[in-house]
Chain A
Amino acid sequence: MIPRIELSGVSKRFGSRQVLDGVDVAVMPGESLVIIGGSGTGKSVTLKCILGLIPIDAGSMKVDGQEVAGLKGAALDAHRTRFGMLFQGGALFDSLPVWRNISFALPGSAAERKAAAIDNLARVGLAAEVADLKPAELSGGMQKRVALARAIAARPPIIFFDEPTAGLDPITAAVINTLIRTLVTDLKITAITITHDMASVRLIADRVAMLHAGKIIWNGPLASLDGCDNAYVRQFITGSTEGPIHMPGARP
């Protein structure tokens, strides 16, 4: 079977800093991959490279077997129609009401788009009354749900989730994680999630990959995560300060 997304040797440098240094990873159709890794290891950059928001320096990126690195203009627009994206902070448009945020990329009349927005709000467990509110009037958890509704509104076959539970309390985070897992399963979506939150990993992932120093250093099914003998992964999932990963400010 052709992977839905396949990255080979993807590299990206910002000035003197090599953020991605030959990333190799593949995601099969309908699979939920979670990428873990410390802050600043290039997880968000990886997603933005696939979306064509950041050009890569070297390597290959294929979606459904088609090379997408270097796409421009209409081809890049067509490529992006296959994706939904949940941004870390939600990235809702402040000036627009919730329903216009959700239906932003949908065709049709205003009434049809509002109906579609309300339908998607229901999918993420929000009432129709929320549709007319502005994003600033919502709590952090509700904003994440609205952003989730926007990401699924056009029913894209692939969705990226960038730190979906960042800044949320544990209960709201669990609700968001469960929603993501349900949506991925129900809508048969291929998903890549990046997170530091091990609770998210265990709820969302079919497979887990760890990004460190610009490379995927471990990649395996969720079931093998706890038993894996990779010292970097062990340190990350236990949250220990002892191990091969040295964070600035941590005691040696």
Chain B
Amino acid sequence: MIAALVAIGAPVLAAFAAIGRLTRFAVTALTRMLQPPWYPAQLAQQMLVIGWLSLPVVGLTAIFTGSALAQQIFIGGSRFNAASTVPAVTVIGVVRELGPVLGGLMVAGRVASAMAAELGTMRVTEQIDALVTLRTDPFRWLVGPRILAAVLVMPFLVLVSNALGVMGGWLLATQRLGFNSAQYLATTQRYLEVDDVVSSLVKAGVFGFFIALMGCYHGYHSGGGAAGVGRATTNAVVSSFILILLSNLIITVIVFGS
């Protein structure tokens, strides 16, 4: 009986300890971000790395997914004589869900792994210790600019993702499915609501926070040489994926559930 309780209790305690460590890391990062000194050059560099350099992968993902979605809606809708719903369902599907979620996942795959690898390497090569001995707070120099940059640029990336996703659907619908271009765009505009865009941008900001947080957290606490950095990278990607999907569900239920 006691052995069974121990078997259950040990992982539960470990999970709570991990949540506590992560929460403390996040709170420390957020509070230090609000206090000087600030490093605008670091912030600008991270905005470039996270935002500008992610544009191709996010854009391509959005175009392909928007096109595929339009095709599937057309096939499914045709069974109920509802093929005309392609523009409306595509824009709602892309802006509410696919744009932010797939954009977030693609950025997570690209950025969280890179952050974990960079900070992990800095940890195992003592560069983070060197920062501290040079009187520079790693939370202000490394973690803060990454989190702030991700939160700031993700909404812009998702806006682009949404626009290209809708464009992908329009392109396929007008070129392959026989839709009238002006009518498609008018329907898209009619069904797109402000709440859809706002929820999409809120999701993007939240996803950006989790992507940078998980990348920095796992990299910062990396250990055990190259293998440790590899583990940190994997954990950063997997945990940011899970947090993106979980927070997406929660925001969707809160915003659209009623």
Contacts and interface: CB of A to CB of B under 8 A. Distances in A.
A93 B132 CA distance: 12
A214 B13 CA distance: 32
Interface stretch (A62-70, A84-92, A126-134, A233-241): A84-92
B135 A87 contact: no
Contacts of A192: none
A39 interface: no
A89 B126 contact: yes
Interface stretch (A27-35, A75-83, A215-223): A75-83
Contacts of B133: 51, 53, 80, 83-85
B127 A93 contact: yes
Interface residues of A, number: 19
B6 interface: no
Nearest to A52: B132
A105 interface: yes
B125 interface: yes
- The A interface, classified by DSSP as helix, strand, loop or mixed, is loop
Contacts of A77: 135
A232 interface: no
Contacts, number: 41
The winner among B122, B130, B132 for most chain A CB atoms within 10 A is B130
A112 B182 CA distance: 61
Contact of A91 (B125, B135, B136): B125
B134 interface: yes
Interface string B52-78: 000000000000000000000000000
B143 to A, nearest CB: 15
B129 interface: yes
A48 interface: yes
B135 A105 contact: yes
Contacts of B136: 104-105
A89 B129 contact: no
- The B interface, classified by DSSP as helix, strand, loop or mixed, is helix
B38 to A, nearest CB: 16
A104 B129 CA distance: 14
B126 A80 contact: no
Contacts of A87: 126, 129-130
Nearest to A87: B126
A80 B130 contact: no
Contacts of A94: 121, 127
B226 to A, nearest CB: 13
A53 B126 CA distance: 11
A53 B128 CA distance: 10
B108 to A, nearest CB: 22
A92 B121 CA distance: 12
Contacts of A150: 134
B129 A91 contact: yes
Nearest to A83: B133
Contacts of B131: 93
Interface string B119-160: 001100111011111111000000000000000000000000
Contacts of A84: 133
A12 B121 CA distance: 25
Contacts of A92: 127, 130
B190 to A, nearest CB: 49
A87 B132 CA distance: 12
Contacts of A48: 129
A88 B135 contact: no
A124 B133 CA distance: 20
Contacts of B134: 104-105, 150
A94 B123 CA distance: 12
A83 B133 CA distance: 8
A48 B130 CA distance: 11
Nearest 3 interchain pairs by C-beta = A91-B130, A105-B134, A91-B126
Interface of B: 121-122, 125-127, 129-136
7 contacts: A53-B129, A80-B133, A92-B130, A93-B130, A93-B131, A94-B127, A105-B136
